[in-house]
A and B are shown apart, each in its own frame.
Chain A
Amino acid sequence: MLSWSSLFTIYSILAISLNLEIGFTGISNFGKVAFYGIGAFIAASFGIWSFLLVFRLAYPLYGLNTIIALGKIAAANPLLNVTVFFVSISLSFIVAGIFGYLITYPTLRVGPAFLGITVLSFGELMRIFLRHFKPTGAASGLMGLPHPFAWINDSTMKSALFVISALAIMVIIYSFSQRLVNSPYGRAMKSIREDEIAALCLGKNVLRYKAQVLFIASGFSGVAGALLVFYTGFVSPDLFVTSVTFDIWAMVIVGGMANNRGAILGTAVITFIDRLAAILNFIPWFPLDPNILRWMITGILIIVVLMFRPSGLLPERTLKTPAWETIGLGSKAISTMERGRALVSFLFKLMIKIVDWFKAGGR
């Protein structure tokens, strides 16, 4: 259903955002899926409702007629369609960000382990609440959200454009995160992670930093959610279960905490395993249900990485601010080692893309 590239893009946004929280600032957010879901629902609701309102169509949200009507409108109004797409994403960012901001205070009340549980239960609460919330379709969710590029006739072109937009957004988020982290702000983030009290005693307003990081990271998660619904066209509360959070944590741990490229690499690894399992589904004589295997591997992978290479595949790198040059410790130029690593991860992703392409029948 979701081709690997879209899945990869969406999840790498989530991984980067979690990395900002736990990798750099030390906030253990075990409820990531909640913000992902909020973003998704906001985008879907806004998308569908805005179409309905603009053309003054009646509710109900379901009914084949509504879906067909939406499809027709979307196909006939490219500008509106694309505008709705981008506005929804921005809206998701803001709303999810606000929710992230709201959980800042609990982070101060409880330590990291319990914070995890707190946010986790918040995530579950959100899901149960949405299961009953009629305006967003209760348990069945919302359907019929038009594809942002529905007005293009060629189906490959449609998907390609979407992937390109999603990739563009991911690149923006990645570069923003990289710049944020390689600055005095990033340094302050790390100091909070290392020793909150010492950071406080050095004049860092810990509350403000955490609030800002949570806002940004949750906002990014919301964007990922928005991208998800625009790709699949529907949303339902049961998509946002705790296992998703766990998956994202696996990506960050495997790839390397406090390293944005690591987050992306980790995403590549986990989504690769996931897609591999999906492929194996087609092999009838494979003894084990691939889905089961995929999760077993994820679980073991976490334990193994934590035990033998806790810093992950790409360990944390020292922040490279201009201060280094000034001291005379070398420039920001990338060393050969890092070039090598970048090459390896690039090849890895390329290989996966090729596999996916073959699987999709060379389309």
Chain B
Amino acid sequence: MSDSFLGIVGVSKRFGGVEAIKDINIEVKKGSITGLIGPNGSGKTTLFNVITGFYTPDSGEICFKGSRIDGFNPNETYTLGLARTFQSPRLFPRLTMLENLLLAPPHQMGERLIYATLEKKWDKQERAIAIDSKGVAERLLLNGIEGTLTADLSGAHMKLVETARGLMGGAQLLLMDEPAAGVLYSTAREIFDYISLLRKEYGLTFFVIEHRLDVLLDYVDYVYVLHLGKLLSEGTPEEVMKDKNVIEAYVGQS
């Protein structure tokens, strides 16, 4: 378990009387694009919440890069290199796009109270981050809007900024919650093309929840299927699509 990049062993979580997820065993290999699919309400987002630290699992362990992270707070998991994006972008409305990006990198000296008022201490780091963010923005064709408040941006731009922010944080594992939700098929493919590119160029690992199987299955190396809180099936995209249980689960939903 300690070899895998992200290892989830025997994790369960219940709320009140309902068992949201039970006995989940998942392994995300470094440098892979791993998918997490399942009908609505199968516990996918709950699992993400447990991994990132919003909930403590009732049982089981979660290991990231060899050490345990279950029970850590979300901000702690972030600084360890585990980032998460949301289905609908959670940007900071009254801050400019630039500031949104500048917030992403962890370990900023200027963010510590002792150094905050002493500009000299964080000046250099700040400028470096600024240059960085300019680069990232250009890559995503976002230049020119650094000064606008994110509340004033279009929906498409918001999604891009969310991605840019995710990149700036220097995360090694990105948990993405339905990155292609609500966009055109072609845009969805662009997004996943970009994810593949990032994996190739930067060696990032992705763990993606996605409903759009028509897009997802073309890009993932390995897939886990969740149903009613339990792991129903796992395997390569081809294996999973042939699995009778999986088909039943999805068909049974409609």
Contacts and interface: CB of A to CB of B under 8 A. Distances in A.
B173 to A, nearest CB: 13
A203 B78 contact: yes
Nearest to A258: B94
Contacts of A200: 73-75
Interface string A296-336: 00000000000000000000101101111111010000000
A223 B79 CA distance: 36
Interface string B25-54: 000000000000000000000000000100
A184 B75 contact: no
B131 A326 contact: yes
A323 B52 contact: no
Contact of B90 (A184, A197, A316): A197
A323 B169 contact: no
Nearest to A175: B117
B147 interface: yes
A191 B95 contact: yes
A203 B165 CA distance: 12
B92 A195 contact: yes
Nearest to A182: B119
A183 B122 contact: yes
Contacts of B96: 318
Interface string A317-358: 011011111110100000000000000000000000000000
Nearest to B109: A184
Contacts of B75: 200-206
B224 to A, nearest CB: 22
Contacts of A188: 103, 111
**A195, A200, A316: which has the most chain B beta carbons within 10 Å?**
A200
B209 to A, nearest CB: 15
Contact of A183 (B83, B86, B116, B169): B116
Contact of B110 (A183, A203, A206, A318): A183
B146 interface: yes
Contacts of A316: 94
Contact of A184 (B73, B74, B108): B108
B130 A322 contact: yes
Contacts of B102: 184, 187, 321, 323
B91 interface: yes
B113 A185 contact: yes
Chain B residues touching A, range: 35 or more
A323 B116 contact: no
**B79, B112, B116, B130: which has the most chain A beta carbons within 10 Å?**
B116
Nearest to B79: A203
A199 B169 CA distance: 12
B91 A190 contact: no
B73 A176 contact: no
B122 A323 contact: no
B66 interface: no
Contacts of A318: 95-96, 99, 147
Given A185-B111, A191-B103, A318-B96, A203 B91 contact: no
Interface string A186-224: 111011001101111111111000001000000000000
30 contacts: A176-B117, A184-B102, A184-B122, A184-B126, A185-B112, A185-B116, A194-B92, A194-B93, A195-B90, A198-B86, A201-B78, A201-B83, A202-B75, A202-B78, A202-B165, A203-B75, A203-B169, A204-B111, A316-B94, A322-B123, A322-B126, A322-B130, A323-B129, A323-B133, A324-B98, A324-B130, A326-B134, A327-B133, A329-B98, A329-B147
The 10 closest A-B pairs by CB, nearest first: A184-B110, A185-B116, A203-B78, A323-B130, A194-B92, A326-B130, A198-B90, A179-B117, A203-B106, A183-B116
